[in-house]
Structure 1
Amino acid sequence: MPIMSRGARFDSSTVFSLPSLWSAGAAFWQRAFASDFAWKVGETFATRVFLIGAGVAASVMVARALGPEGRGLYAVAGALAGIGVQFGNLGLHSANTFFAARDRRLLPRLAGNSLAVSAVLGTVVVVALWGIALLRPDIAPLSGTLLLLTSLSIPVGLAYLLLQNLLIGVQEVRSFNRIEIVARLVSLTLIALVILEGTVSPAALFAAGVAASAVGLARVLMRIWRLAPCIPWPSPGLLRSHLVYGLKSYLACLFAYLVVRFDLLMVQHMLGARQAGYYSIAASMADLVYLLPSIIGTLLFPKLVARATREEKWRLTAGMSGLVLVLMTGVSGIAALFARPVIRLLFGPDFLPAAPAFVLLAIAMIFYGVNNIVSSYLASMSFPRFSVLIWIAACALNIGLNLFWIPAYGILGASLSSLVCYVLVLVAQVVYSARWHPGHAS
């Protein structure tokens, strides 16, 4: 869907430049931090930190209870369930947020579509898993009860993901966070009970996680019912629009994700497992640095969709981009400054070679963070094809740069490649957004 007519002319004096982003962020600062939005960002950030900590605790409990072999089977089940949900969602979680934010009266039909899609796509993935298990048991990663539980977890997890994003769309952020916390606490409690009962097995512990997801799903459905007390019913017409938007979002997010993930694969292929180990630490730490702008973008998106005019969307995007630029400059600067002592403390001195690569990735996260805000603006405008094509181009460029820079500069070359790609994507998205901004039309 084009943002404006092709007759619009570009005014170079009004380009959405990085200095202007900085100024906009400074002007936006006081108002932003006094808003309800800032409190929701803070609450969501605290929730994510809690979930990370609870996940580490659960991982330790499971590893100690099962040992290496049992932990491996548990991890494979979790990975298969995650892959099933990831490839089965088709970007519909983003579409749910978009359509719910645009018109909350669609909530019952969106919920009905989400449940129907979860059942159908979940069944397709489950049939594929069982087909492999029955036809080629020699290559099937799981069997028996654990495979059955993994199969059950995919439609449950898919429905949970899709319905959660309806809450984000109608800006029920506190309900979203509370449900996330409750589901994780249920999971931890059930894992502890299984261990205390002495009935420990990979299947029993994985069942605890499936039960927790089911509890979360039930609570989301209850909350949606309170918001729109109608029976969820699928709408094929709405689903078609849903899928078009979702697939564009899916492709853009996939290729953005692959930019840094291809780095790791190419480092392993060109430099070996040791250097890949160093780079994996740098990339994991960069993911933590990116946590804050990721949350801001998630919560900003429905607010942008709900804005009535492009001018209002643009103004909010400019201010929030400047704010994120200021915040991420500080966060990334501090993270880079303390990279070596943090790596030494958490991973040991053997992993210190990861520090220089992390410093470059921390700088890259500044641009990736601002990219996230500008991408939210474009997504709120029905996701133009440019938003997909730019990340496909960035992924291809990243691979090309890595072919030359990894052999020349080692893991620093991989980090530098990501940095260059994120800078170029940001410049391209800013110019594109400015080019089609309504105030620039002649």
Structure 2
Amino acid sequence: MSTPTTRRPSFLVASATTYATSLTVAALSLGNVLVVSRALGPVGRGDVAFLTTIGTLVGYLANLGIDQSNANLGGRRPELRPALATNSLLFAAFFGAVAACVVTAIVALFPGVGGESTSSLRWLALASVPVLMLERYLATLLQADYGFGLTNLAWLMAPVVNFGVNGTLAATGVLSVTSAVATWVAGWTLSAAILVAAVARRSRFGRPDPALARSMLGFGLKTHASGVLGLGNYRLDQWLVGTLGGSRELGHYSVAVAWSEALFVLPTALVAVQRPDLVRAAPLDAARRTAVAFRLAAILTAALAGALVLAAPILCVTIFGEAFRGSITDLRILAAGGIGIVALKLMGQALTAQRMPLLETAATAVAFALGLGLDLLLIPDHGGAGAALAATLAYTTGGIVMAILFLRALGGRANDLVPRAGDFRGLARRLRPARTIGGA
């Protein structure tokens, strides 16, 4: 079978459009947080954050790394994409349903895990699990073929729906926790539907392939621990704050987290755009490209973190209201973890793209273990501030470990990660198309 020729878009154009989409998503998501917080107060905002966190966490727990398999196999073996798409659909439906049932059983045995939520609202949140899984699976499959425009459109739909619907309901005085969670589920369902249609037109859905499914699971499971632990670093603390500190404390902390998400925007965009090239690249090419991206992202992230620290009173109190003054300290502490976030994301995805997922898992596990231990130690007495400190220390430590493993595995040098004056001037030249190698 002949291999389809993929048209590679300009790295700068793809990065700019994906980054712009990320900024728009972040702005809309923050706007939605503002709408919900002002309409429902800290307690209502905490309830919504708790339920959507459950859906997001469970979706990642049940993911099994299939998205990473799609990124690698879909990038290196274009002829497999139709079967990858169909297998992804089946994986999402089966494992998503199983995960939702398992969580329901756990809450029945240990009611405290469910926080202050009702069973009907938990079921509503859990209905999102298969949808979230499928959305992620198909997004990475399309990105493996440089389909960034399609994935950006789908990614944008969920926050557009959330902000638009919740804003309308709040303006008419009928917004509730139930309607906010239902809107969240509907938004992600629309995103997944767009991706299903895009795959059907672009690579099409083929016959299920059991042998390929085993390969997808084999590689995916090697990456899965890293994905789960990475999300745990980002989301588990909110679950713990809600469980150990209550809805009001989580409401404060969730606002700080919402602002701190700005630190994830640039590295997340670069990860998405670089991944197809890194899958196809030789190790030294992958190390070079990742180092350039890290230096640029580190400079911009440090500047952004400083701005968040200075503007915290305006961001938390002026915009959200006096009831959220407790968010100021949380945000300032979270901002300090920005460089660690960049290192974990960019270097970790480079290792996985180069088929070394266990190295990414090792560094992420260090961050997760430290973060979880500090969460359990600090949240009971310090609430959101304790969770913020735990997250910052975990991200920073994990980023250092990731950098060490990255340099050793791909043959890079430590000074390659130090920002230099010519980075911005040489961006277009340095990020030219990667030299590719063969193999599956």
* Aligned equivalent of 2:61: 87
1:235 aligns with 2:217: no
Kept after mapping to 1: 8 A contact 2:30/2:258: no
Instruction: Give yes or no for the alignment of 1:328 onto 2:287.
Output: no
Deviates more, 1:102-111 or 1:34-43: 34-43
Equivalent pairs counted in the alignment come to: 400
Unaligned runs of 5+ in 2: 1-9, 414-440
Match of 2:150 among 175, 181, 187: 175
Q: 1:276 to 1:51 in 2, by over 3 A?
A: closer
| CA pair 242-276 structure 1, distance change in 2 beyond 3 A | same
Whether the 8 Å CA contact 1:245–1:383 is kept in 2: the answer is no
1:340 alignment counterpart: 313
Q: Which has the larger radius of gyration?
A: 1
Residue from 71, 74, 99 that aligns with 1:97:
71
Cα distance in 1 for residues equivalent to 2:168 and 2:376 = 50
2:395 counterpart residue number:
422
Give the partner amino acid of 1:119: A
Q: Percent identity?
A: 25
Please state how far the C-alpha of 1:321 moved relative to its aligned partner. 0.6
Q: 1:316 to 1:266 in 2, by over 3 A?
A: same
Structure 1 residue 362: deviation in Å? 0.8
Structure 1 CA distance for aligned equivalents of residues 265 and 81 of structure 2: 28
Kindly report the root-mean-square deviation, in angstroms, between the aligned alpha carbons of the 2 structures.
4.8
How far did 1:45 drift? 1.9
Contact 2:343 2:403 survives alignment (8 Å):
no
Match of 2:6 in 1: none
Q: Which residue identity is paired with 1:285?
A: W
- Structure 2 letter corresponding to 1:162: Y
Residues 368, 50 of structure 1: alpha-carbon distance in 2 compared, 3 angstrom cutoff: closer
CA contact 1:77–1:142 (8 Å) conserved in 2: no
1:160–1:35 CA distance, 2 compared to 1 (3 A): closer
**Alignment pair present for 1:165 and 2:140:** yes
Aligned to 2:14: 37
- TM-score w.r.t. the length of structure 2 is 0.71
1:181-215 per-position Cα deviation (integer Å, ceiling 9, x unaligned) = 4566577788899999xx99999997776666555
1:126-156 residue CA offsets vs partner (Å, 9 max, x unmatched): 6668989999xxx99446xx89977765434
Give deviations 1:270-294, integer Å, cap 9, x for gaps. Answer: 8888766654443333223323322
Does the CA-based 8 Å contact 2:223-2:357 persist in structure 1?
A: no
* Correspondent of 1:319 among 281, 292, 305: 292
Q: Output one character per residue of 1:249-308: Cα deviation in whole Å (capped at 9) or x when no partner.
A: 33213223334656567778888887666544433332233233222223322221132x
Deviates more, 1:252-261 or 1:181-190: 181-190
Q: Aligned ranges for residues 243-322 of structure 1 at < 5 Å?
A: 243-259=217-233, 278-307=252-281, 309-322=282-295
Judged with a 3 Å threshold, the aligned counterparts in structure 2 of structure 1 residues 245 and 142 are, in CA distance, closer, same or farther, namely: same
Structure 1 unaligned residues grouped into runs of 5+: 1-32
Is structure 2 residue 72 aligned with structure 1 residue 112? no
Could you say which residue in structure 2 is the equivalent of 1:391?
Answer: 364
Report if the CA contact (8 A) 1:91-1:246 is conserved: yes
Output the CA distance in 1 between the equivalents of 2:146 and 2:344: 22
Alpha-carbon separation, structure 2, partners of 1:76 and 1:410: 15
After TM superposition, give the deviation of residue 173 of structure 1 in Å.
0.9
Distance change >3 Å, CA 348–CA 127, structure 1 → 2: closer
Is 1:97–1:166's contact at 8 Å kept on the other side of the alignment?
A: yes
Give 3-state SS (helix, strand or coil) of 1:290's partner: helix
1:381 matched to 2:354: yes
Q: Which amino acid aligns with 2:210?
A: P
With 259-268 and 116-125 compared, the bigger mean Cα shift is at: 259-268
Alpha-carbon distance change, 248 to 60 in structure 1, aligned in 2, over 3 angstroms:
same
Mapped partners of 1:123, 1:344: distance in 2: 40
**1:364 counterpart = 2:337:** yes
- Separation in structure 2 between the aligned mates of residue 251 and residue 422 of structure 1, nearest angstrom: 16
Between 312-321 and 165-174, the greater mean CA deviation after superposition = 165-174
CA distance in 2: counterparts of 1:270 and 1:114, whole angstroms: 36
Distance in 1 (CA, whole Å) between partners of 2:264 and 2:348 is: 15
Residue 435 of structure 1, aligned match among 405, 408, 415: 408
Q: CA deviation at 1:68?
A: 12
Deviations 1:340-391 (A, max 9, x none): 2322212334544543442232121122123211111111122332321222
- Kept in 1, the 8 Å contact 2:97–2:130? The answer is yes
Cα distance, 1:402–1:186 mapped onto 2, change above 3 Å: closer
1:407 is displaced (CA, Å) by: 9.1
